[in-house]
Structure 1
Amino acid sequence: MSIINQQRLLDEFLQLVGIDSETGDEREICDHLQQKLTALGFTVEEDDTTAVTGHGAGNLIATLEGNLPDAPVIYFTCHMDTVAPGKGVKARVEGEYVVTDGTTVLGADDKAGLAALLEGVRVVKEQGGKHGTIQFILTVGEESGLLGSKALDPAKVKADFGFAIDSNGPVGDIITSAPSQVRLDVKIEGKPAHAGVNPEEGISAIQVASRAISKMPLGRIDHETTANIGKFQGGSASNVVPQWVEILAEARSRDEKKLDVQAAKMKSGFEQAAAELGAQAEVTVTKMYPAYKYEESDLVVQKAMAAVKRVGREPRLLASGGGSDANVIAGHGIPTVNLAIGYEEIHTTNERMPLTELYKAGELVVALIEESNQTATKR
């Protein structure tokens, strides 16, 4: 028999997905969550990061003071925003899933996580309320490049360790390793000329960029490293040798040294091709977020595994190729793993949420709190 109130959790989830919160427009969901958390006894602060992110609301830092003085402070993080199209979501239960009418995403990424957190705390309080101090870090702009978590003041996170509830896969999957990412903004400047009259006097920026890309290691580099050219634009007309090309690229690796090597190869590739053909290359490499990696013996992993077993699942320790708010907060020295929430086909209008996974996620939040309560060693 489930320890959670399944109907209450489902109703909570349906209410949350019905609130418009496309990334950048989180004001309504932020206000709604502030009211919910305050009613649950949290002290809630909205930070002042809107000036940095440009989004409609700040991050929420909510703290529920504990009554077990020897228990560690733990935190959970989910994000408030969704991808587009996410306005006017019409969700319904169809068989064993929550689905939409096919015109929008559902927003289970990450409102299933939010609903699970709220239900989990309700159950803990109903069972007697014994717990250490719990923080919720609810971010904006996760879908816009982790903007909210990157703007977050790390001093506001008081936890010893914590859990992001924001990964694909069935409940029970634990992401113990995730990559760092760099972004490359590239501008190639050639020389314009008439393509039919005097093309030999021009230098094609498109040709320069193409030569560089053709020689560049891309795609799957190794089991930890990937690279991609995501955007390529330039030129103005078919009869003009193109003077400008702008390129957006990325590289990721769970090994920071490998990432540095890959980014250097991509940067030098553009620069060398430009030099060979008499053009100019301006390449800006920006670190977007750090990698994290934890072993099975680490406390945060041990607690996650014990909680998964407590709810009747077998934990799987996995490495991811994607980044999340867990990367950013772990980068501040707060051990964090990302836990699967069970959503399916996210970022599409076919997105759906299995009821079994939603309910199991609520149980998992309770189990994570209970398992953490048994840890007497604080950071």
Structure 2
Amino acid sequence: MLSASQKDRALQLVQDLMAIPGVSGEEAEVAARVRQELLSVGVPEEAITHDTAHTRCPIPHSTTGNLIVSLLGNRPGPHRLLMAHMDTVPICVGARPKVQDGMLVPQDAHTGLGADDRAGVATVLFAATELLAQKIPHGPLTLLFTVQEEIGLQGARFLEVEKLGNPDLAFNWDGGNPAKLTIGAIGGYRMTIDIHGLASHAGVAPEKGVSAITVAGIAINKLHEQGLLGKISQGELSGTSNIGVIQGGNATNVVADHVQLRAEVRSHQKETIEILVDRFEQAFQQAATEVQNNSNHMAKVEFDGDLNYEPFAMSPETPSVQAASDVLSGLGMDPAKSIANGGLDANWLYLHGIPAVTLGCGQLNQHMTSEMLDIDQFHTACEVALQIASGKGSAE
């Protein structure tokens, strides 16, 4: 188990990382700190690189790509990949962590903590630096710190996979209990819906207008009546959907000529995602036919969507899962395998041909001002990562 000094170092590292601002698209300062830590234990400059994934991600002027570190092994063994994502959600900007009752919590009531996923970054970084500082024998390793995970796994999606060096085993840290092994996750599709109506004076000639807001309201009601908003459970049609953003209109005395909605659907079945997206489009197109002005003009509806990540599920017999299970069991834990209802970088790693098992690192209440990090669980995650990095597990 970790010594007291190792625990202190890990705890200080994660607090330092949480205090660095770094929302999606602005991860450069986090990457710089990771680089600094690695250089301090002798990692050569040329072993630390970035890809150009950020140039293909949707956020303009993104500051950096995925950070990739290649560490040569000093003994034979399978090539292992350890990874976590660097970005946090906006509520975590300005986070100042403090220790309270065995937890790291935000000092300020209006911020999150950033444990998601600075705890994952700290876990991987602690394991790698400890391995090198203590000169622990290990096989070849690649470290991957991704960008823009929180906005649809964009860094992992546009990852330059060839820079990873074809790892045999892959491990991702992002989540809660370190004994939980996430071996699959839901898929998600995000869409932008633009409704173009016809403006007119709402008091003098409302009959000449075509209200985009009315069209949107009718479409939303259709989806609600069909049970297609929120949790969806209709036989084989199972998943979730949400319309999270509506923007439109300029003044109360003008019939709104444009409304934009942003929505998502999720499911563990790709076919269900396709059906739900089609149902959304049908609802809005039908609603457009039901709102006409006195000249029989109707609104025009435009859909733009993207399958951010496909659902995936790995066999419990996958070598990465077996190796992680062996390490957890060796530490006296009972590995619990699960399928996540949120997307993970592992969704895209799987599609890239690298099945990655996701392990927890003590996060609680992610994306909330009540976010916490369980310090004991975080220390356990660091021990698990150190053992995995050193080559423990059945795949050896």
Do they superpose with TM above 0.5?
A: yes
Cα separation, 2, equivalents of 1:165 and 1:310? 19
SS at match of 2:88: coil
Are the aligned partners of 1:303 and 1:371 in contact in 2 as well (CA < 8 Å)? no
- Which residue identity does 2:70 align to in structure 1? T
SS at match of 2:368: coil
Superposition deviation, residue 332 in structure 1: 0.6
Aligned to 1:29: 30
One of 317, 325, 331 as aligned partner of 1:305: 325
Cα 1:3/1:368, change in 2 over 3 Å? farther
Per-residue deviation at 1:361? Answer: 0.7
Give 2:116's aligned amino acid: D
* Other-structure match for 1:141: 148
For residues 300-330 of structure 1, the C-alpha deviation after alignment (integer angstroms, 9 at most, x for no partner) is 2222222222222222111211112221222
Q: 1:269 aligns with which of 283, 301, 306?
A: 283
Which deviations, in whole Å up to 9, do the C-alpha atoms of 1:249-270 show, x marking residues without a partner?
1111111111111111111221
Q: Distance in 2 between matches of 1:196 and 1:119?
A: 66
1:1-379 mapped onto 2 (5 Å cutoff): 1-2=1-2, 5-42=6-43, 43-53=47-57, 54-69=61-76, 71-102=77-108, 103-125=110-132, 129-157=136-164, 158-167=166-175, 169-216=176-223, 217-222=228-233, 224-277=238-291, 278-370=298-390, 374-375=394-395
Q: Tell me the amino acid that sits aligned with residue 302 of structure 1.
A: Q
Letter of the aligned partner of 2:358 in structure 1?
N
CA distance in 2, matches of 1:274, 1:372: 60
Superposed CA RMSD in Å reads: 2.3
Partners of 2:232 and 2:143 in 1: CA distance:
37
- Give the Å deviation of 1:45: 0.7
- C-alpha displacement of 1:297: 2.2
Please tell me the residue identity of whatever aligns with 2:195: I
Residue 49 of structure 1 contacts residue 151 of structure 1 at CA under 8 Å; is this kept in 2? yes
Secondary structure in 2 matching 1:156: helix
C-alpha separation between the residues in 1 aligned to 2:240 and 2:54?
32
Identity %: 33
User: CA distance change for structure 1 residues 234 and 360 in 2, over 3 Å: closer, same or farther?
Assistant: same
Residue 144 of structure 1 aligns to a residue whose secondary structure is: coil
| Helix, strand or coil at the partner of 1:270 | helix
Q: Which amino acid aligns with 2:102?
A: E
Question: CA 1:302 to 1:375, structure 2 compared with 1: closer, same or farther past 3 Å?
Answer: closer
Q: After superposition, give the CA deviation of every residue in 1:265-306 in whole Å (9 maximum; x if it has no partner).
A: 111221222134332111112111222211222222222222
Please, which moves more after superposition, 274-283 or 183-192?
Answer: 274-283
Corresponding residue of 2:295: none
> What is the CA–CA distance in structure 1 between the aligned matches of 2:257 and 2:169, rounded to whole Å?
51
The unaligned stretches of length 5 or more in structure 1 are none
Cα distance in 1 for residues equivalent to 2:24 and 2:198 = 39
Q: What is the letter of the counterpart of residue 164 of structure 1?
A: N
> Tell me, what secondary structure is at the counterpart of 2:56?
helix
Q: Distance in 2 between matches of 1:88 and 1:256?
A: 38
User: Structure 2 regions of 5+ residues with no counterpart?
Assistant: 292-297
SS in 2 for 1:143: coil
Greater shift after overlay, 112-121 or 218-227? 218-227
Q: Distance in 2 between matches of 1:284 and 1:50?
A: 21
One-letter code aligned to 1:272: Q
Q: 1:261 to 1:156 in 2, by over 3 A?
A: same
* 1:220-261 deviation per Cα after TM superposition (whole angstroms, max 9, x unaligned): 113851111111122222222222111111111111111111
Supply the distance in 2 between the matched residues of 1:47 and 1:63 (Cα, whole angstroms).
Answer: 13
CA contact (8 A) 2:138 2:391 kept: no
Q: Using the alignment, how far apart are the partners of 2:202 and 2:134 within structure 1?
A: 77
- In the superposition, the TM-score normalised over structure 1's length comes to 0.90
Query: Matches of 1:194 and 1:140 in 2, distance apart?
Result: 47
1:9-36 residue CA offsets vs partner (Å, 9 max, x unmatched): 1122222223332333222221121122
Counterpart amino acid of residue 22 in structure 1: V
CA 50–297 in structure 1, closer or farther in 2 if over 3 Å, else same: closer
The CA distance in 1 between the partners of 2:331 and 2:242, in whole Å, is 39
Whole-Å separation in 1 of the counterparts to 2:353 and 2:230: 30
Give how far 1:123 is off. 4.3
- 83-92 or 269-278: bigger deviation: 83-92
Q: TM-score, normalised by structure 2?
A: 0.87
CA distance in 1, matches of 2:138, 2:41: 14
2:181 maps to amino acid: I
Q: CA deviation at 1:74?
A: 1.6
| Preserved contact between residue 244 and residue 262 of structure 2 (Cα < 8 Å) | yes
